Amino acid sequence: MGLSTSLFLRQTQSLVMTPQLMQSIQLLQMTHFELNQFIAQEVEKNPLLEIASENAENGAETGFESGGIFAEPELGSEGAGASDESEWYEGGSSVTAEQLGEGLDTGFENVFPDDGPERRADAPELLSQWKSMPGGDSGEDYDLDDFVAGQVTLRDHLNQQIPFLLGSMTDRLVAQHLVDHLDEAGYLQGDVQEIAARLGKRSEDVEAILHKLQTLEPPGVFARSLSECLAIQLRQKDRLDPAMDALVKHLDLLAKRDFVSLRKICGVDDEDLLDMLAEIRGLNPKPGAGFESSVSETISPDIVVRPAPDGSWLVELNPDTLPRVLVNQAYFQSVSKNCPKNGEDHNFLSECLQNANWLTRSLDQRAKTIMKVAAEIVRQQDAFLLHGVDHLRPLNLKTVAEAIKMHESTVSRVTSNKYMLTPRGLFELKYFFTVSIGSAEEGGDSHSAEAVRHRIRQLIAQETPDAVLSDDDIVISLKRGGVELARRTVAKYREAMNIPSSVQRRREKRALAKVAAF
């Protein structure tokens, strides 16, 4: 077979992932906070982009034209302005602001005599402090966050107590090193012997300092395990007797609800054991959690669903989460006139205009895509919005993608980290996509996995101490309701919801029944 070279002409179609196309795909899965950060970065780089304020929506009032183009407000003649001002006073004569104020009695010295000029002169240092404050004399609003006290952390709280506990400067340095090894829950993360070797101290001395630190507030801090944390709190309450100490050392049996073994180990009867368990429940397993400095973030819904007057559902995008970006084409036209064509400045402005137009189109396409997906989800889950979680239908990405004629990956990106506010509450869009479970009746409708889990929770919540349902009993009850489910699936759902087995539930319910009887 001979080798030869040849030239072919071939025409093919291919999708090239340009940087702008990749950025458009990333915009779909961005959260509201991430999208605002991205827009702020683009506005900082692009002089043609502007973030529209709430007052800039009405172009007639702010000088913005439709499409986000800046325009100069129309100014009338000076005579027109003067004629308007002449209506405020009789005769149209020229009146100064001071004279007009005197005529309208705008002075407050007669109402608040203590706040007159002579009163302000008595405290010039206070007046200077007020003027130095943000917005004190300029009329601008100041930020109230500047006056909020800082949050006290766990380390700050402990460092304030250490000087009153330890007198030696060396012991204080060791204590400070131990404070640095605390986690957010207040537990000591680190080996005492390793810490002592690192500091060049004896492990006995470091252990003695640690025992002193365990007496600080909050109770239970500087513990190395949950048992030690509970023991420290009980010791400070003078309740660490031999029976309670044995209970604290066998928390694994308490987690298994093996009350028979606990009675034998502690040497107490049922009444005393119930009292001990009630006291254990009153302790704090994470003493440092109250000083956690992390701030909880408020979730802003991307879609708002509310009932319409005709009985349907009104699906809207949340205006608070919609970005408002304007393209200042008037600035581009005014600057490009003074720039030579094919120059660096003209090319830079053209590129900025292209990027700005692309960003506005991408944001508009993002909003339309989110709206399509949300509207289809509401249409599919109409029964859930009307009747609750029991009527949640099984749904997958493919069903929604085929309905709105988009790819499954696009629907997946849209539903990531997006939230919908409904009359039933605030839900992530992923919540409405559940696995389908077959019906026990031939030809019956399938059931959603989330609805089945809700039924399991209801069945377990309604059981009595004398009639605790096993997994097989739950399977039978679900089959009567038209749900065909295997026992191992019921056990998997129960464990995922952190619900103990029937044996453990029976022990706990009987123990609670005895507590209620006493």
The string of pLDDT tens digits covering residues 297-332 is 678 889 999 998 888 899 999 888 888 888 888 888
The predicted pLDDT at position 304 comes to 92
Q: Do 192 and 203 touch, CB atoms closer than 8 A?
A: yes
pLDDT digits (tens, 9 = 90+) for 492-509: 888 888 888 888 788 777
**What's 114-139 look like in SS3?**
HHCHHHHHCCHHHHHHHHHCCCCCCC
Q: Does the pLDDT of residue 70 top 50, yes or no? A: no
Centroid of chain to Cα 269: 47
Contact by Cβ (8 Å): 397, 433: yes
> Considering only CA atoms, which of 332, 415, 356 is closest in space to residue 20?
356
């107490």: which residue's tokens?
Answer: 268
**Burial (CB count <10 Å: 0-12, 13-18, 19+), residue 224:** middle
CA distance 52 to 227: 57
361-377 tens-digit pLDDT: 888 999 999 999 999 99
Burial (CB < 10 A; 0-12, 13-18, 19+), residue 510, is middle
Rounded to whole angstroms, the Cα distance separating 227 from 223 reads 8
Give the C-alpha separation, 23 to 42, whole Å: 12
Q: How far apart are CA 18 and CA 27, in angstroms?
A: 14
Question: Mind listing the pLDDT tens digit for each residue in 206-249?
Answer: 888 888 888 888 888 888 888 889 888 888 888 888 888 888 88
pLDDT digits (tens, 9 = 90+) for 84-111: 444 434 444 445 545 544 554 545 455 4
**pLDDT: which is higher, 314 or 258:** 314
Residue 251 near residue 257 (C-beta atoms within 8 A): no
Q: Cα–Cα–Cα angle for 506, 485, 376, nearest 5°?
A: 115
Residue found under tokens 């009867």:
269
| pLDDT tens digits, one per residue of 409-433 | 888 888 888 899 999 888 889 888 8
Q: Is the pLDDT of residue 337 over 90?
A: no
Residue 245 in tokens: 């100490």
